[in-house]
Amino acid sequence: MSEVVSRDTPLAGQPPAEIFRPRPPRAAPASTLGVQGWVRQNMFSSIPNALVTVLGIWIVYAFFDTILTWAVGNAVWEAANRRECLDKVGRSGACWPGVIAWIPNLIYGLYPKDQVWRINLAGLVLVLWALPLWLPRVQSKALIGLSLVLLFPLLVSYFFLGGEKGVIWSALIALGLAGFLWALLTAATETVSGLSFSRFAVAALGAGGGSDAARRNGQLAALLALYVVAFIAVQALSLSFVPTRVWGGLFLTLVISGIGIAFSLPAGIVLALGRRSRMPLISLLCTVFIELFRSVPLITILFMFNTMLPLFLPVGVEVNQLLRAIVAVCLFASAYMAEVIRGGLQAIPRGQYEAASAMGLGFWQATGLVIMPQALKIMIPTIVGNFIGLFKDTTLVSIIGLFDLLSMSRAVAEDTRWLGLFLEPFFFITMIYFVVCFTMSQYSLNLEQRLSAGERR
């Protein structure tokens, strides 16, 4: 076949061709290999480089030596108040008892001590709900992830807030609980049998032999039964009311940033698509929203929502202060996220959309199945960077009187027993922020590596 279309036919009458034999590859010079080679090449390749290396090592050593001497070496671990600490070591060592005494408040704010289990339980639910996402044999990962994002807030809103629940709220809480139970059961049945919960239930009850319609009805019945169980359980559950005013510490920080993160990604996607839309009105509205919120500092937006929003609302209608802060953070974060996503969309060649379109896919299918997965993938570092920024930006809510992690740490210094203890609580929450943010960034790296399988040769 190939000689028919071959474009270059060798000329006749040439002398017989010599045979080309490629040379075998040789090993790289030994001085460039191994740890020794690496150190020599990267740290001591010239006299100035060697000096910089030595200086750098000395700076790192001096820094950590000072910090560790203060935080560990000279630190006081047991004392009744700050006076005792100062009498023992003066200012040369950290006074940890103050921080230790305040740890419950740093984590839970002023949440009633006997109710703190509700927050812990919510944390446990979160872990259990997310766990199937990492189990290899679970197939419905997308559905479980979606149920987590959409239904988890419904369930834990009651855990956190408690109090009177009307019929509608009860129904929503039950939906959350049913979602949780469904995720656990599906993870279990898929690990055991490869069938999702509803299919498994139908098969186990022997209804699997019927028609497709009968099977579908059976699956619906199984899900409905689950919901009824959840509803009854919710009715039986009664938790005391905890006003948001006493929420605080790491708990509050996680609530605000968690909602902000979960909201900003989908909202950012919608805004980015809107801004690129060919419909002028939609594009204009999205652009105005994005540019408006991006051009104003978060702190200004928080103030606006906190002090000016009530002026626009009818007399008597009061929006919870925490809710106002959360809405402000969500809108701000969405505007930023929209521009990140738009950057990702911009990077996808037009040909990708054309190829999808030539196959007969409509706009939404092409966007959802071809363009968006690629755009989100290349923007993972920036998206997670935004999440990390958002998590840290929540410290600004302390300005409008919410007791997040940062404000709680400052409260320690106002405790009469630990008067003036600023540095140690700051050091402690710095560690918390570092651990959370570093975990996020490492996870993003890990995600990037797993998803870039297609680019590795």
Partner 1 sequence: MTDAVSGELPVELVGVNKWFGAFHALKDIDLRVREGERIVVCGPSGSGKSTMIRCINQLERHQEGTIRIHGRAYGRDLRENDAIRREIGMVFQSVNLFPHLTVLENCTFALTWVRQMPKQEAEDLAMEFLARVRIPEQARKYPLQLSGGQQQRVAIARALCVRPKIMLFDEPTSSLDPEMINEVLDTMVELAESGITMLVVTHEMGFARKVADRVIFMDQGEIVEEAPPEIFFASPRFDRTRLFLSQVL
Who contacts 89 (Cβ-Cβ below 8 Å, separation ≥6)?
Answer: 74, 75, 76
* Residue 17 CB, nearest approach to partner 1 (Å): 17
Using CB under 8 A as the binding rule, the residues of this chain from 417 to 456 that contact partner 1 are 453-456
CA distance 419 to 285: 51
- Rounded to whole angstroms, how far apart are CA atoms 60 and 74? 20
Between 237 and 451, name the residue whose CB sits nearer to partner 1. 451
| In the complex, least distance from residue 7 CB atom to partner 1, rounded to whole angstroms | 5
349 belongs to the binding site for partner 1 (CB under 8 A): yes
Q: Does the protein bind partner 1 through residue 347 (CB under 8 A)?
A: no
Which range of residues in 234-242, 283-291, 360-368, 386-394 is near partner 1 by CB under 8 A?
360-368
In this chain, which of 365, 442, 446, 449 binds partner 1, going by CB under 8 A?
365
Residue closer to partner 1 by CB (options 327, 361) is: 361
| Among the listed residues 220, 369, 435, 445, the single contact to partner 1 using CB under 8 A | 369
- C-alpha angle 319/325/326, rounded to 5°? 95
Does 48 help bind partner 1 (rule: CB under 8 A)? no
Supply the minimum distance, in Å, between the C-beta of residue 4 and partner 1: 6
Among 284, 309, 323, 355, binds partner 1 (CB under 8 A): 355
Check binding of 76 to partner 1 (CB under 8 A): no
Q: Counting beta carbons within 10 angstroms of the beta carbon of residue 408, is it exposed (0 to 12), middle (13 to 18) or buried (19 or more)?
A: buried
Closest contact distance (angstroms) between CB of 395 and partner 1 is 37
The encoded tokens of residue 11 equal 């000329």
Phi, psi of 196 (to 5 degrees): -70, 165
Residues 372-401 that bind partner 1 (CB under 8 A): 373-374, 377
Residue from 126, 188, 361, 437 in contact with partner 1 (CB under 8 A): 361
What minimum distance in Å lies between the beta carbon of 222 and partner 1? 24
Q: CB 18 → partner 1: shortest distance, Å?
A: 20
**What is the size of the binding site for partner 1 (CB under 8 A)?**
29
Residues belonging to the chain: 457
Which burial class, exposed, middle or buried, applies to 125 when counting CB atoms under 10 A from its CB (0-12, 13-18, 19+)? buried
Binding span for partner 1 by CB under 8 A among 163-171, 245-253, 302-310, 354-362: 354-362
7 binds partner 1 (CB under 8 A): yes
Q: Quick one: tokens of 326?
A: 């959360």
Interaxial angle between packed helices 423-451 and 96-108, expressed in degrees from 0 to 180 and rounded to the nearest 10: 50
Interface with partner 1, residue 370, by CB under 8 A: yes
Contact 310, 239 (CB under 8 A): no
Q: How far is the CB of 274 from partner 1 (least distance, A)?
A: 20
Q: Does 362 bind partner 1 (CB under 8 A)?
A: yes
For residue 142, state whether it binds partner 1 (rule: CB under 8 A): no
The label of the residue with tokens 């898929």 reads 190
Distance, first Cα to last Cα, the chain: 30
**Position 424: which residue type?**
E
Tell me the closest approach of the beta carbon of residue 419 to partner 1, in angstroms: 58
Least distance from C-beta 455 to partner 1, angstroms? 6
If binding is defined by CB under 8 A, does position 136 make contact with partner 1? no
Stretch that binds partner 1, among 111-119, 220-228, 352-360, 381-389 (CB under 8 A): 352-360
CB atoms within 10 A of CB 363: 14
Out of 25, 48, 166, 351, the only residue in the binding site for partner 1 (CB under 8 A) is 351
Answer yes or no whether residue 354 interacts with partner 1 by CB under 8 A. Answer: yes
CB of 349 to partner 1, least distance (A): 7
Q: Give yes or no for residue 5 binding partner 1 (CB under 8 A).
A: yes
Nearer to partner 1, 146 or 359 (CB): 359
Where do contacts with partner 1 occur on this chain (CB under 8 A)?
A: 1-2, 4-7, 349, 351-352, 354-362, 365, 369-370, 373-374, 377, 453-457
